[in-house]
Amino acid sequence: MSDKNYSQDKNSFAFGKVNFKILFVGLAILVVGYILMVGGGSDDPNIFNEEIFSFRRITLAPLVLLLGYGVVFYAILKKHEDAE
């Protein structure tokens, strides 16, 4: 590898602008997924609250999290336009 190519590689980022945008969208989706999981507990340990097993916490939140992790994974693996 020549010195010229090395200096170009040294100054370039692994992520492009599009990669960062996709990454931040994925992170936002992850935050939404974790927010959907919050709640459903009881303040009194002797009282059981059925709300902890709601559709939102058992089904929807994990699916949103899987989507978020998929988007983040795609952002990491996607080549940006400047990459050769």
What is the distance between the alpha carbons of residues 82 and 51, in angstroms, rounded to a whole number?
Answer: 50
pLDDT tens-digit profile, the chain (84 residues): 555 555 555 567 788 899 999 999 999 999 999 999 998 887 888 888 888 899 999 999 999 999 999 999 999 998 877 655
What do you get for the CA distance between the two ends of the chain, in Å? 14
Q: Where are the domains of the chain?
A: 14-77
